[in-house]
Structure 1
Amino acid sequence: MSDTDSFIDEVTEEVRRDRLFGLMKRYGWIAVLAVLLIVGGAAYNEISKARARASAEDLGDRIFAALQSDDSAARAAALEAITPDNDESGAVVAMLRASELDKAGEPEQAAQALKALAAQQDVPQIYRQIAAFKALSVQDTTLSIEERRAGYEALAVAGAPLRLLAEERLALLDVEAGDTEAALARLSDLLQDAETGNGLRRRATGLVIALGGEMPAAPVSLGASTADDTRLEN
């Protein structure tokens, strides 16, 4: 390589360096800002998670403390004093309070609390439907068959999360009304529904046998056992 070629290469390299430094001076702040945003975003995410975890733990501690009393009315009053941080936490606290009011012999107050929760449109649908279901349950002895039937039918529509449990309650209302044929038809539909959980399937089977009915053919796919089958009965 000649001296001329070497000189040209050196000049070219210097020009490249000058251009690179110029670009870094002009646009380097963008890279720095991007790094700061990434680091800042990660830090904010961790802080948010820590705050949410601390808030959940604090709510759990307050609920636990409220449930320490031996008196249901006192537990309901302590739960009422809790101020939740969000709608979902508020729904959980409200249902716990309603349960304690029912245990304290105040089913009407429990039902009113549950109805108020069911009417809150900013609360997720599943909480509102559970509240409506429980409100009907605590009023078993105070509402007429027609009123309860209307309530459960509203929960038994296609696609509703508590459809099958509401259908079970409707079958029990048929039995209460003395309409065994209607109850057996509804129970047969439940047993043939592939979404029916094992707990509900066992209860429906026992009721069919108790009513003297015939067992329908098993569905193609048996429903898995669901916690809702038992939790909502309490």
Structure 2
Amino acid sequence: MSDDIFREVDDAMRMERLRKSARRFAGLGLAGLILIGAGIGGWEYYLSSLHKDALAKSTTYLGALRDLGSDSSVAGTSLPLTPAQQKALTALTEVGQASPSGLATLAQLREASSYATHGKTQEALRIWDTIQQDTKLDATLRHVATLLWCQWQVDSGDIATIRSRLSLLSNESKPFAALANEQLAVLDLRAGDTKSARDRLTRLQQDFNAPNGVRMRAGGLLQTLDQQG
């Protein structure tokens, strides 16, 4: 689901940036539109600074993403990192420690996701928690960290704490509202509040502004609930 969330986050961020840029540059075209995503984040930083050091860090970041790939698993068990993936993860760690905040945060988000998938959940949670509490960082990146922090605790973490954090992102005016409400529906099911879960899932399934993955999962959960009576 981590790969899904990054893809859906990327889609949501693209739409949110498009809306903001359309307002700011109305009549001037959309050249220069900033898009944050798996590989685009490094390119964004390169465009903002043409120094050799910036180019080197962006190149390292993009190369690390390519070599790390997706965090594969078999029957729910993560496959061991290959030597190339381990090297890529080390490179991401270095970018996350030595780069300006935007690129460093992108590297830290991907690094933490890999940690979580390969069993180092507490380390991943610590990274995501640090990002989401740093008010100096871009709000979008902080929201991504919040979503990932909650995703990895939705099955066993403190329900009240998770719900509190997700509620800040669940308003329909927020770019990641669909993802936040999907996790809130899972929390409702965990808490035994089937009615609230059904209501959320129904709204998500009917929300054509929500990512396709979210709508499909909402529909699948509703079918499961119907089968269970």
Shorter-chain TM-score category?
A: 0.5 to 0.7
Q: In the alignment, what sits opposite 1:92? A: 106
Q: In the alignment, what sits opposite 2:152? A: 138
Q: In the alignment, what sits opposite 1:37? A: none
* Structure 1 unmatched runs, 5+: 1-44, 214-234
Q: In the alignment, what sits opposite 1:60? A: 62
Structure possessing the higher radius of gyration over alpha carbons:
1
1:80 pairs with 2:113: no
Give me the whole-angstrom Cα distance separating, in 2, the residues matched to 1:76 and 1:55.
Answer: 14
Q: How far 1:140 moved relative to its partner?
A: 3.2
1:182 pairs with 2:196: yes
* Structure 2 unmatched runs, 5+: 1-46, 70-80
Give me the whole-angstrom Cα distance separating, in 1, the residues matched to 2:214 and 2:68.
Answer: 33
Q: How far 1:169 moved relative to its partner?
A: 0.9
Q: How far 1:74 moved relative to its partner?
A: 7.4
* Contact map agreement 2:207 2:215 (CA 8 A) in 1: no
Give me the whole-angstrom Cα distance separating, in 1, the residues matched to 2:157 and 2:105.
Answer: 24
Give me the whole-angstrom Cα distance separating, in 2, the residues matched to 1:158 and 1:93.
Answer: 28
Tell me which of the two structures has the higher relative contact order, counting C-alpha pairs closer than 8 angstroms and 6 or more residues apart.
Answer: 2
Structure 1 residues 188 and 141, CA, compared in 2 at 3 Å: closer, same or farther? closer
Give me the whole-angstrom Cα distance separating, in 1, the residues matched to 2:156 and 2:127.
Answer: 16
* Contact map agreement 1:115 1:131 (CA 8 A) in 2: yes
1:163 pairs with 2:165: no
Q: How far 1:52 moved relative to its partner?
A: 5.0
Q: How far 1:207 moved relative to its partner?
A: 1.3
* Contact map agreement 2:67 2:85 (CA 8 A) in 1: no
Aligned CA-pair RMSD: 3.2
- Report matched runs for 1:3-18 at 5 Å: none
Q: How far 1:146 moved relative to its partner?
A: 2.1
- Aligned partner of 2:169: which letter? L
* Contact map agreement 2:189 2:197 (CA 8 A) in 1: yes
* Contact map agreement 1:145 1:173 (CA 8 A) in 2: yes
Identity %: 24
> In structure 2, the residue corresponding to 1:212 is in which secondary structure?
helix
Q: In the alignment, what sits opposite 1:48? A: 50
Give me the whole-angstrom Cα distance separating, in 2, the residues matched to 1:111 and 1:104.
Answer: 13
Aligned residues: 168
Q: In the alignment, what sits opposite 2:211? A: 197
Give me the whole-angstrom Cα distance separating, in 1, the residues matched to 2:82 and 2:209.
Answer: 40
